[in-house]
Amino acid sequence: MGTNTRLLTAGMCSVTYRPLHPERIITMARQAGLQHIEWGQDAHVRLGDEAQARRLGEATRAAGLSVSALGSYYRAGVPSDPDEADRLWRRVLVAARALGAPRVRVWAGNLASAYTGPADRRRTLDRLKRCVDSAGDIVVATEFHADTLTDEIGSALSMLDEVPGLRTYWQPPNGMPDDEAVAGLGAVLDRVDAVHVFSWWPTSEDRRPLHHRAALWRAAMSMLASTGRRIDAALEFVPGDDPGMLTGEAATLRRYVTEFSGDPAPEGAG
């Protein structure tokens, strides 16, 4: 493929292994031949501890990996008090800057789009605008998830249209057939900066090895590569939350990424 498509990257989300110490996660990711880590705020980045976030970012880069994002659990519109929401968002940004994260993942509210009334939707959109406007050179991207404004393609597109500069993640919605999921990716493709990669089928309780949905992920990677933009593909969860699964799952992800990017796979143990 042309050189403009060689921008897909293979990494992982630290929430894949919430109980593990960050140093072990860094070692595992490096040994698995991955390129980046999205550090989760809930388990590995402590809001209010700028020094800890800085050390974590430095340790990641010292291992030859990059920090792809801060995976925050900031929900736009929650809390509803604007001053409290501003204070919380400032803490998230401080952590992201200390970590050296180019992107912050946020959540588009806490209600399913079908049950979000006009006032709640307006509050969520206004808060997302404030996040984007205050983030400077840090990209703000929404989680693509049930029970938020991104749980349905029409709602997600409307949200993105109404908040200039806002980006989004993508992941296959639980229980959705491959062709429908890929069509949804196509609808938001020009707004996608990262994808969360896993193989749950048919429910979130059925966590399969990544190759179980090879057709889905090959179609998704082909579509992502066609953009010619850097898009970070990050493993999120593995069967049994087993650290021993990472090497094999990372090898599968690297194979899918390189199949369509044309780049040689990174070196790694296994």
Q: Residue 266 falls within a domain, yes or no?
A: no
∠ CA(167), CA(23), CA(139), 5° rounding?
A: 15
Q: Are 57 and 102 in contact (CB under 8 A)?
A: no
Q: Residue 270 falls within a domain, yes or no?
A: no
- Residue 176 sits at φ, ψ, to 5 deg, of -85, 130
Q: Residue 50 falls within a domain, yes or no?
A: yes
Residue 122 has pLDDT above 80, yes or no: yes
Report the number of distinct structural domains present in the chain: 1
Say if residue 265 is exposed, middle or buried (CB neighbours under 10 Å; 0-12, 13-18, 19+). middle
CATH for 61? 3.20.20.150
What pLDDT does 261 receive? 81
Residue 87 tokens, joined: 């204070």
Residue 2 has pLDDT above 60, yes or no: no
Residue 264 has pLDDT above 60, yes or no: no
Q: Residue 209 falls within a domain, yes or no?
A: yes
Q: Residue 52 and residue 101: Cα distance in Å, rounded?
A: 14
Q: Residue 267 falls within a domain, yes or no?
A: no
- Sequence-distant (6+) residues with CB within 8 A of 129 are 163, 166
What pLDDT does 7 receive? 85
Q: Residue 269 falls within a domain, yes or no?
A: no
What pLDDT does 263 receive? 53
What share of the chain in percent tops pLDDT 70?
A: 94
Q: Residue 268 falls within a domain, yes or no?
A: no
Token pair 């992941």 in the structure block, residue:
171
Q: Of the given ranges (3-17, 108-122, 156-170, 175-189), which has the lowest mean pLDDT?
A: 3-17
Residue 202 tokens, joined: 């048919």
Q: Are 189 and 227 in contact (CB under 8 A)?
A: yes
- Its domain, for residue 129, covers 3-261
pLDDT band at 3 (very low <50, low <70, confident <90, very high): very low
Say if residue 19 is exposed, middle or buried (CB neighbours under 10 Å; 0-12, 13-18, 19+). exposed
How far is C-alpha 114 from the chain's CA centre? Answer: 24
Q: Residue 213 falls within a domain, yes or no?
A: yes
- DSSP assigned state of 12: E
Residues 196-233 pLDDT 10s: 999 999 999 999 999 999 999 999 999 999 999 999 99
